[in-house]
Amino acid sequence: MVSDAPALLSRRGLLRAATAGMALAVVRLALPSVTWASRLPDGRVSLYNLHTDERLSVTYRDESGAYDQDALNALNHFLRCHHTNETTTMDVQLIEFINLVQKRVGGRREVHIVSGYRSPEYNEQLIRMGTRAARHSYHVSGQAVDVQIPGVPLRTLREVALRLGCGGVGYYPRGKFVHLDSGPFRHCYRPVLAVPFSFTALVSASPDRLLSVYRSGHLPA
DSSP 203-219: HHS-HHHHHHHHHT-PP
d(CA 124, CA 113): 21
Q: What's the pLDDT at 169?
A: 94
Helix residue spans in the chain (DSSP H): 34-37, 69-78, 92-104, 120-128, 154-164, 200-204, 207-215
Name the most confidently modeled range: 45-49, 186-190, 195-199.
45-49
Amino acid at 3: S
- What band does 12 get if pLDDT is binned at 50, 70 and 90? very low
**What are the φ/ψ torsions at residue 47 (nearest 5 degrees)?**
-125, 155
Higher pLDDT, 171 or 187: 171
Reported as a pLDDT band with limits 50, 70 and 90, residue 136 is confident
At 132 the pLDDT is 72
Distance CA 176, CA 49 (A): 15
Which of 36-40, 90-94, 196-200 shows the highest mean pLDDT?
Answer: 90-94
Higher pLDDT, 24 or 215: 215
Please check the confidence at residue 122 and state whether its pLDDT lies above 60: yes
- The residue ranges of every structural domain in the chain are 2-12+28-215
SS3 state of residue 72: helix
Write the CB contacts of 200 (distance below 8 Å, at least 6 apart in sequence).
24, 25, 26
Topology of domain 2-12+28-215, CATH: Muramoyl-pentapeptide Carboxypeptidase; domain 2 (3.30.1380)
Q: CA 156, CA 215: separation in Å to the nearest integer? A: 14
Residue with the larger pLDDT of the pair 29 and 66:
66
